[in-house]
Amino acid sequence: MGILLDENSRIMVQGITGREGSFHARACLAYGTQVVAGVTPGRGGQMFDDTVPVFDAVEQAVSETGANVALIFVPPPFATDAVVESVDAGIPLIACITEGVPVQDMVKVSRFIQDKPVRLIGPNCPGMINPGARCKVGIMPGAIHRPGRVGVVSRSGTLTYEAVGQLTALGIGQSSCVGIGGDPIIGTSFSEILGLYDDDPNTDLVVFIGEIGGSMEQEAAAYIKENMTKPVCALIVGATAPPGKRMGHAGAIITGEGARAESKIAALRDAGATIIPTPADIGATAQSVLQGL
């Protein structure tokens, strides 16, 4: 079953004719994803790879193809407009892969979607995948995934792939994997994804990968302690980062004691999560916890 995506997910790619959009749309198609539409203003009426119709506007794409998931590869200055267009067209699930979206733009979008029936993943994220449904919405390498019962959620795309690679190498499949994004303001928090995994009957364990900066990990720890019924293995990266220096992600910057790796690890340990010592230990730690279930 997994979360967010299933066999009924119909994907529309905004920016499908651009370099990144076309490359990753082809990878999604090759994985088995139902990519039913593309949107690029001025390119309406064209066909992408002879199979996917391209439209000028999202509303038309949704009306004619029944698309219910948006995958956004639109340049940073226009990415939030693309999100708003999909929301206005009634798309319930949006993944914005774009990196470098201005923070003030995201503040406005966060307020815009607050009371609307939509879930935004990202921006600056790898997207999401459901291996059992053969549905990939984003930039993750599909070949490393295998169907199973472990959920993965991470702020880091690269560490998502590392976690999945280790799990798969040990014969441990994934129910779903979600990269929520590394920007200061994103559409969906750790706690929200943890709640979806906890409610998913086909997820037995969650691998959680956080990093320095912000307070999302502490909020997730509070959720785990108060609500989570399934075991969580947690890794926090960035322990050696100097205060005030951004480390890779725009949101990965130590701005106070709570933003340090040590504070986050302590909160998660207190919440009952099994702490993963280093990135090299993700698979082994998950395997050990699964053997104890």
Residue 111 reports pLDDT greater than 70: yes
> How far, CA to CA in Å, does 229 sit from each of 144, 202, 278?
28, 14, 25
The answer to whether residues 79 and 146 belong to one domain is no
The answer to whether residues 50 and 177 belong to one domain is no
The answer to whether residues 162 and 44 belong to one domain is no
Mean pLDDT, rounded, of the chain: 93
Residue 129 bridge partners (DSSP): 136, 177
Domain that residue 158 falls in: 140-293
CB atoms within 10 A of CB 193: 26
- Backbone φ and ψ for 121, nearest 5 degrees, come out as -105, 125
The answer to whether residues 179 and 280 belong to one domain is yes
Proportion of the chain above pLDDT 90, given as a percent: 86
Give a yes or no: residue 129 inside a domain.
no
Instruction: Report CA 293 to chain centroid distance, whole Å.
Output: 27
Residue 236 reports pLDDT greater than 70: yes
Could you tell me the pLDDT band of residue 261, with boundaries at 50, 70 and 90? confident
Which residues, including other chains, have CB under 8 Å from residue 134's CB and lie 6 or more apart?
31, 32, 33
In tens, the pLDDT along 40-94 reads 999 999 999 999 999 999 999 999 999 999 999 999 999 999 999 999 999 999 9
Among 209, 227, 195, 226, residue whose Cα is nearest residue 264: 209
The answer to whether residues 177 and 219 belong to one domain is yes
The answer to whether residues 210 and 275 belong to one domain is yes
Residues with catalytic roles: 249
101, 83 in Cβ contact below 8 A?
Answer: no
pLDDT of residue 247: 53
The answer to whether residues 157 and 96 belong to one domain is no
Query: What's the structural domain count of the chain?
Result: 2
Give a yes or no: residue 212 inside a domain.
yes
pLDDT of residue 212: 82
Query: Rounded to whole angstroms, how far apart are CA atoms 144 and 173?
Result: 10
CB atoms within 10 A of CB 210: 29
Give a yes or no: residue 135 inside a domain.
no
In tens, the pLDDT along 125-180 reads 999 999 999 999 999 999 999 999 999 999 988 999 999 999 999 999 999 999 99
Between 252 and 266, name the one with better pLDDT. Answer: 266
The answer to whether residues 3 and 29 belong to one domain is yes
The answer to whether residues 115 and 244 belong to one domain is no
Rg of the chain's alpha carbons, rounded to an integer?
A: 18
194: domain CATH number is 3.40.50.261
Which residues, including other chains, have CB under 8 Å from residue 143's CB and lie 6 or more apart?
none
The answer to whether residues 75 and 178 belong to one domain is no
Give a yes or no: residue 200 inside a domain.
yes
Give a yes or no: residue 280 inside a domain.
yes
The answer to whether residues 108 and 2 belong to one domain is yes
Using the Cα atoms of residue 98, residue 213, residue 247 and residue 269 in order, give the sign of their dihedral. Answer: negative
Residue 72 bridge partners (DSSP): 14, 96
Could you tell me the pLDDT band of residue 253, with boundaries at 50, 70 and 90? very low
Give a yes or no: residue 219 inside a domain.
yes
- Backbone φ and ψ for 277, nearest 5 degrees, come out as -65, -45
The structure's pTM equals 0.93
Give a yes or no: residue 100 inside a domain.
yes
pLDDT of residue 252: 46
The answer to whether residues 19 and 73 belong to one domain is yes
62: domain CATH number is 3.40.50.720
Give a yes or no: residue 132 inside a domain.
no
